[in-house]
């Protein structure tokens, strides 16, 4: 059982966590999330830095990067309207926040890029449950020592009575409001938070607030106490069990096949000409997925060789480096070929998120391969650390470049060049796509199906939730433009 010391500041912080829990419930359980996510993240970090004022933070560089990415991702909820990232970031942001506060309050010697950090983070997170139990047991004893037993029992009974009265009052207020319209009007003058709350809904929301309150309190208090889980901070050196001779043989065989393949197929890769046995779509799509699969296999083999190969003599080590360099080179050719095939498919069938996102991922893979090539010759560089940081930066950039807008712009440009456009796909891109449809309507109002799509969207948009939590800049702009749309 962990030993803790309590003080008045702990109780003050508990009240702050209760307010934070209430804000979390208001932000995430009252309709579509918009600016509320950014406001909550800001409030959370205000409470965090107030509580940890003067605390000796560690891992500052990665900490600043994580904090910057967290704020950008949360800002995306009111800056852009991407359905994919809307769903992903509901989980990604809390994970990043948990990792961030653990990192900057943990040991300065912590290897956050090691696998051992995962069980370490889990042990920190789940320790909040026993911490809360111990804390409130300690507070109970403190209260008992300050008041006599009879007064303590009275206070306890009053607290129990208040807890029981809350759901009972909810039922009574609802029944009386239904029975008397004048009473209902009086109740309606109270803040909407307390009006006509369904018993089941009110109980659920109360439980959510309490869970958030004790979750924030226990977790942050635990971090402030600098409690460290036993035997999880350090990890022994990487196991080296790949024999260099076997690795060399594999590299020679694999590279021989790849060099032959690239040499024979080079014109086929980059000419854009169709083979007789393939349709246009099959040519682009099949080639893309096959080449991407081979590229990912090559990357995995590269990482495994650099991480798990046994030490060897200078000659064989140099030979392996040359073979790995060749493997990176042919992988780069395949990556470029896959990139061009997907571009070919987009030019024929239009731009979608499902096509643009793989394009961006291939650029990211190109960066990964380049760094891996540098690591082949400069062994002291850390692969895993770079992969984690670059993945975080890549994901954040994807959120910030407004990829929906890019897809809309490319499709509108394609319409100018070819006269082809899928208005129903643009409509599916939420409010960013509607912006594109409105731009298209201004120049081509007679395009078949466009007027009806905008009319349907107008009805749907003004029937949506308009709460402060769901405020979004793109959504507001579209609503203003749709108001001017008279059809």
> Left, alpha or beta for 139 (phi > 0: left; psi -120 to 50: alpha)?
alpha
User: What does the pLDDT read at residue 189?
Assistant: 59
User: What does the pLDDT read at residue 347?
Assistant: 78
Residues 6+ apart with CB under 8 A from 126: none
User: What does the pLDDT read at residue 235?
Assistant: 44
| pLDDT tier at 113, thresholds 50, 70, 90 | confident
Partners of 242 in beta bridges: 309
User: What does the pLDDT read at residue 207?
Assistant: 87
Question: In this model, does residue 325 exceed pLDDT 80?
Answer: yes
Residue 236: Cβ-neighbour burial (10 angstroms; 0-12, 13-18, 19+): exposed
Question: In this model, does residue 232 exceed pLDDT 50?
Answer: no
Report the percent of the chain where pLDDT is more than 90.
Answer: 23
Question: In this model, does residue 198 exceed pLDDT 70?
Answer: no
| pLDDT tier at 293, thresholds 50, 70, 90 | confident
Q: Please state the rounded mean pLDDT for residues 54-77.
A: 93
| pLDDT tier at 349, thresholds 50, 70, 90 | confident
| pLDDT tier at 6, thresholds 50, 70, 90 | low
User: What does the pLDDT read at residue 264?
Assistant: 65
Q: Give the integer Cα–Cα distance in Å for 56 and 186.
A: 53
Question: In this model, does residue 425 exceed pLDDT 80?
Answer: yes
Question: In this model, does residue 328 exceed pLDDT 90?
Answer: no
Task: Report which of 100, 109, 116 is spatially closest to residue 65, judged by C-alpha positions.
Answer: 100
| pLDDT tier at 254, thresholds 50, 70, 90 | confident
Q: Please state the rounded mean pLDDT for residues 427-446.
A: 87
User: What does the pLDDT read at residue 92?
Assistant: 95
Question: In this model, does residue 214 exceed pLDDT 60?
Answer: yes
| pLDDT tier at 236, thresholds 50, 70, 90 | very low
Token pair 């600098």 is at which residue?
226
User: What does the pLDDT read at residue 233?
Assistant: 44
The mean pLDDT value of the chain amounts to 80
Question: In this model, does residue 241 exceed pLDDT 70?
Answer: no
Tens-digit pLDDT profile for residues 80-103: 988 899 999 999 999 999 999 999
User: What does the pLDDT read at residue 176?
Assistant: 65
């Amino acid at each position: 059982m962990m030993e803790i010391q309590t003080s008045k500041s702990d109780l003050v912080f508990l009240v702050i966590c209760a307010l934070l829990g209430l804000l979390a419930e208001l932000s995430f359980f009252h309709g579509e999330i918009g600016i509320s996510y950014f406001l909550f993240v800001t409030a959370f970090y205000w409470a965090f830095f107030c509580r940890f004022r003067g605390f000796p933070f560690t891992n500052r560089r990665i900490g600043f990067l994580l904090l910057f990415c967290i704020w950008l991702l949360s800002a995306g909820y009111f800056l852009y309207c991407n359905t994919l990232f809307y769903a992903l970031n509901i989980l990604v942001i809390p994970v990043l926040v948990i990792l961030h506060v653990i990192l900057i309050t943990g040991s300065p010697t912590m290897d956050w890029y090691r696998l051992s950090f995962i069980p370490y983070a889990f042990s920190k997170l789940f320790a909040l449950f026993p911490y809360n139990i111990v804390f409130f047991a300690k507070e109970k004893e403190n209260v008992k020592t300050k008041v006599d037993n009879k007064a303590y029992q009275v206070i306890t009974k009053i607290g129990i009575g208040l807890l029981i009265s809350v759901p009972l009052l909810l039922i009574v207020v609802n029944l009386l409001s239904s029975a008397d319209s004048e009473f209902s009007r009086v109740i309606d003058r109270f803040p909407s938070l307390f009006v006509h709350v369904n018993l089941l809904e009110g109980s659920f929301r109360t439980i959510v607030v309490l869970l958030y309150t004790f979750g924030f309190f226990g977790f942050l208090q635990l971090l402030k106490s600098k409690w460290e889980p036993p035997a999880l901070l350090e990890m022994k050196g990487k196991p080296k069990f790949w024999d260099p001779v076997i690795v060399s043989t594999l590299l020679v065989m694999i590279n021989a096949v790849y060099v032959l393949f690239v040499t024979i197929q080079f014109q086929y890769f980059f000419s854009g000409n169709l083979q007789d046995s393939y349709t246009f779509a099959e040519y682009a799509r099949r080639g893309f997925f096959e080449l991407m699969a081979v590229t990912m296999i090559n990357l995995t083999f590269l990482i495994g060789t650099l991480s798990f190969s046994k030490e060897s003599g200078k000659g064989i080590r140099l030979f392996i480096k040359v073979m790995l360099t060749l493997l990176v080179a042919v992988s780069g050719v395949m990556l470029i070929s896959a990139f061009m095939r997907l571009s070919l498919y987009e030019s024929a069938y239009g731009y979608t998120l499902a096509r643009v996102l793989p394009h961006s991922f291939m650029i990211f893979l190109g960066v990964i391969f380049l760094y891996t090539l540098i690591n082949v010759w400069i062994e002291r560089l850390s692969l895993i650390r770079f992969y984690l940081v670059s993945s975080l930066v890549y994901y954040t950039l994807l959120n910030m470049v407004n990829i929906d807008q890019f897809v809309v712009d490319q499709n509108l440009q394609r319409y100018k060049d070819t006269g082809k456009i899928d208005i129903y796909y643009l409509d599916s891109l939420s409010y960013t796509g509607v912006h594109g449809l409105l731009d298209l309507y201004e120049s081509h109002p007679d395009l078949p199906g466009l007027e009806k799509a905008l009319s349907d969207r107008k009805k749907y948009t003004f029937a949506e939730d308009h709460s402060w939590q769901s405020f979004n800049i793109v959504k507001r702009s579209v609503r203003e433009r749709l108001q001017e749309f008279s059809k």
